[in-house]
A and B are shown apart, each in its own frame.
Chain A
Amino acid sequence: MDIRLTGVSHFYDKVEVLRDISLDIPSGKIVCIVGPSGCGKSTLLRLIGGLEQPSAGEILQIGAPPAECLNPLTYIFQDFALLPWRTVRGNISLVLEDHGIRGTAADDIIHNVLARTKLSDFADALPKQLSGGMKQRVAIARALAVNPAVMLMDEPLSALDSQTRELLMDDLVNLWTRTPFTAVYVTHNLAEAVRLGHSIVVMSRRPGEIREIVQLDTPLDQRGLGNAEMEEKQKYLWQLMREEARAADAELVHA
């Protein structure tokens, strides 16, 4: 299933946050969206997943999602959004219960996704007992449980320290290499973008427009630390963004 955006614009009251965004999200690829703070990249993600409606333009699903897919457009949030009163297992079964999946069928899925995110030993832990990285892995496991056609990731690693971030990026690369998934990955971190993105959409400051789409052809599993080509791309992206980021920063002061 592909996603296509044509001429999407969005206003909050009279403030224009997104202007004329047209973008294709091909299935099986990770599209990263980077931009200075306040450029509307998180808004764009909420529009893509149907949590908000665009003021103009349309967002289309092209092709039917796979049959076994319970929730085609599935988010992973920056703040994890785990229910603190449910255990790891309970948080995952939450999204299965409404589809009538209970008992052994649910246990099989939970067992499978916890194994894939290396959380099998923590099924009965409460979120407060987990580290930040583990919480986000639970959120990823929960997303995997519904077999999403497209994963919508809103700064999923931004609340984590840099070592944990590095480890989780490896996890994501491994997950993708084993079974490629489609994802839109919003971040302000260029290192994450060049590590995970098959294409990187660079946005301008508010009103957010697409400045450039950078394609990266290196396979994900060959983009380890200190890869010269990646360094080069990251430098290039920073050059694109530098002025925008500076201007966006000054803008906030006067807003």
Chain B
Amino acid sequence: MPETSNTVEIRHVPFRGGGFAPSPRRWVGFAVFVILIALAEIGTQTGFITPLTLPKPSDVLKTFGELYSSGLLWKHLSVSLSRLVVGAALGASVGIAVGVMIGLFSYVRAGLLPLVAALFPIPKIALLPLFVIWFGIDEGSKYALIAFGTFTPTVVATYGAVDNVDRNLIRMGQSFNLSWVSIVRKIVLPGAMPGILSGLRISLAIAIILLVAAEMLGAEYGIGAYILEAGSLYDLERLFVGVAILSILGVTLSACIGMIERRLLRWRV
């Protein structure tokens, strides 16, 4: 470059490539919780927030402690967890099976897709009275409600995941004369696993919502029954204890799926 006049401006090339790349920030989520709870505590302590609007977080914690020491926590939780496990396992396993079949067989797809589309938008809670008649007021109707609620989103996620399996890999399996069973077991199912697992995240959250709904009818124990009772007495401390337990349950389940994903999907780029 020829020497130009010394009025030429020299500066760094501006950087424009930042952002759009989320990276983990470990404690931020935790800090948000702490700050919100601290704000609620300060507000209720100073009287800025009336006791009718929001209970003191410290009182909620105290109530939780009482629930724990009375042994009722475990009683409620064990009943709820067993309903959740049975219902969600039933719904998810049948959902995955049906979803895989929809993904693999044209007739099943043609026959069941409209049915699934028709069932998906039904608020399953609306069917609870019906389920009580069909399956009894005991555990049966609760299992059925949770199972039915997890079934539809699992089906939709699963057949989408099967559809998205790389066709070239299936073609490869055929070109090596792998049996149909081998192709499904060794290529289709592992290939669909990421989609199935992310579908399970949604299904399990729905299962928790339906758990509470199911326990609002004819249940003596269970988190839902506990919340319903607290609500009808306008006992805000206990209501919030119940809600907090549900949130913790949700976070725990989501963390479990995260762990399974990290184990099973280590191969992902």
Contacts and interface: CB of A to CB of B under 8 A. Distances in A.
Are both chains from one complex? Answer: yes
B186 interface: yes
A49 interface: yes
B12 interface: no
Given A85-B267, A126-B267, A75 B175 contact: yes
B176 interface: yes
Interface string A73-113: 11101010101111000000011011000000000000000
Contact of B179 (A49, A75, A79, A98): A98
Contacts of A146: 176
Contacts of B177: 71, 98
Contacts of A67: none
A97 B174 CA distance: 14
Nearest to A126: B267
Nearest to A73: B175
B269 A51 contact: no
Interface residues of B, number: 21
Interface residues of A, number: 22
B263 to A, nearest CB: 12
Given A84-B268, A128-B269, A74 B176 contact: yes
Contacts of A126: 266-267
Contacts of A83: 169, 186-187, 190
Contacts of B251: none
Contacts of A71: 175-177
B182 interface: yes
B168 interface: yes
25 contacts: A51-B174, A51-B175, A71-B176, A71-B177, A73-B175, A74-B175, A75-B172, A77-B171, A77-B172, A81-B168, A81-B169, A81-B172, A83-B186, A84-B267, A85-B193, A94-B176, A94-B186, A95-B178, A98-B176, A98-B182, A126-B266, A127-B267, A128-B267, A128-B268, A146-B176
